[in-house]
Amino acid sequence: MFYLIPGLGADERVFQRLQPLLRGLSEVLPWLPPDSIDEPLAHYAARMAAAIPADATGWLVGVSFGGMVALEMQRLRPGLRVALISSLPDAPSLPLLLRLVRASGLYRLVPPQWLKLFPRAGQLYFGVRNGADYRLFKAILHDMEPRYTRWAISSLLHWNSTGVAPAVQLLGTRDRVFPPGNRAIDYRIQGGGHFMVLSHAAEIARILNGLGL
């Protein structure tokens, strides 16, 4: 069983090419609205995990911020393993740029809805291809909910990953959000950007289908 968790501000649309290629059952877990702007990530993950049976086995597959949520959920569902797509295995892996964003506090001042005004800049940063991928990216940006987005950005930047379980990591060689650098990564997807769950869905599906339990 694959439980699929989308990235920050995204929804089941990011899995539209990957999910049909997965063997066996799969289910997208939709985001829940945060209880408050200060809801702890662990508390939020517990609410997300309530949708999964306590004795479930299989994989939590998280994209970007969804990977961090998956790692927090796994604490409560130990029968599941975690696969990270375009995500980070722990807080110390947060790249320098995002550490600077956190230190500056600017993320608190910039309204998340401003992201919708600059889709081409987002396309470059997230490594989104032209055509259908870009149209979907624009649609996802348009539908982003500001309150959730602000909470998620803060949670990402201040994640306390102490004690999270090891995960299988799939990261694109051209990911600008979470650059792979020289870190040990299980699967480097050649040419993959941060949006590779769409652009490299077939390759990612082959890897996930081969993981077993």
Instruction: Specify the pLDDT at position 11.
Output: 82
CA pair distance 188, 124, nearest whole angstrom? 20
> What is the pTM assigned to this prediction?
0.90
CB atoms within 10 A of CB 137: 21
Contact 175, 195 (CB under 8 A): no
Q: Which of 109, 87, 65, 115 is nearest to 187 (CA)?
A: 87
Q: Which domain holds residue 190?
A: 2-209
Instruction: Specify the pLDDT at position 87.
Output: 96
Contact 196, 85 (CB under 8 A): yes
Token readout for 190 is: 């050649």
CA pair distance 3, 90, nearest whole angstrom? 20
Instruction: Specify the pLDDT at position 112.
Output: 59
- Of all residues in the chain, the percent with pLDDT exceeding 90 is 66
Cα distances (angstroms) measured from residue 170 to each of 87, 178, 184, 204, 211: 8, 11, 11, 8, 12
Kind and range of the H or E run holding 208: helix 201-209
Q: Give φ, ψ of 59 to 5 degrees.
A: -130, 135
What amino acid is encoded at 94 in this protein? L
Spatial CB neighbours of 15, under 8 Å, sequence gap ≥ 6: 4, 6, 28, 197
Which CATH number goes with the domain that contains 118?
A: 3.40.50.1820
- Quote the number of domains for the chain: 1
pLDDT tens-digit readout, 131-158: 888 887 878 777 778 888 889 999 999 9
pLDDT tens-digit readout, 46-71: 999 999 999 999 999 999 999 999 99
